[in-house]
Amino acid sequence: MTKSIQLNLQHSDVEIETVREKGRDFLKAHGFSEDTVQSQMTILHQLISSVRKFDNLVASKSDMTVLLLIEENAIIVEVSKPVNESSYRRLDELDKTIQSMRTWRYPEPFKPCAIDDTEPINSNSQDYKAEGYELAKIVYEKGAVLDFYVSEDKILNLSAVRNLDGGF
């Protein structure tokens, strides 16, 4: 049996915190421990941060959609946002970052770093290395698998799947 919640998110930090609170409440209502809930909220924060970096590449700042999906042995977090052709170079960078994480045997390129997941998300940042650290935190500290795709209607969907049984 699957359980999910979909939330719409605009671009204010107040709304981001509201989405995080609703996500926390949703996971707690389904019996997840505080550690699991906190890990998922870190993942959610990092995905929102990565997707918001496409804000300045789209003529008008479009809303994002956040999906939390509970499956039998996994939690999936997906953040979606419209993009346009000016985003393709940035999408190529995102693809390279995710692909390189899939081939690392050890997290040496991204040694443990302190990323405060309570800091406001800066939607104007174009620092690809910082994004790599954010995404590496999801992979190496939280044990999630990252992926993304762009749908035919030009919606970026960035997701993290975290297996609750200890590995894929």
| Chain segment 104-146, per-residue pLDDT in tens | 644 444 444 433 444 444 433 344 455 677 788 788 888 899 9
For residues 44 and 76, give the distance between their C-alpha atoms in angstroms, rounded to a whole number: 10
Structure tokens at 126: 């174009």
Q: What is the pTM of this model?
A: 0.79
Among the listed residues 133, 127, 149, 123, the one whose alpha carbon sits nearest the alpha carbon of residue 58:
123
Q: Where are the domains of the chain?
A: 3-163
Q: Topology of 3-163 in CATH?
A: Heat Shock Protein 90 (3.30.565)
Structure tokens at 138: 């999801």
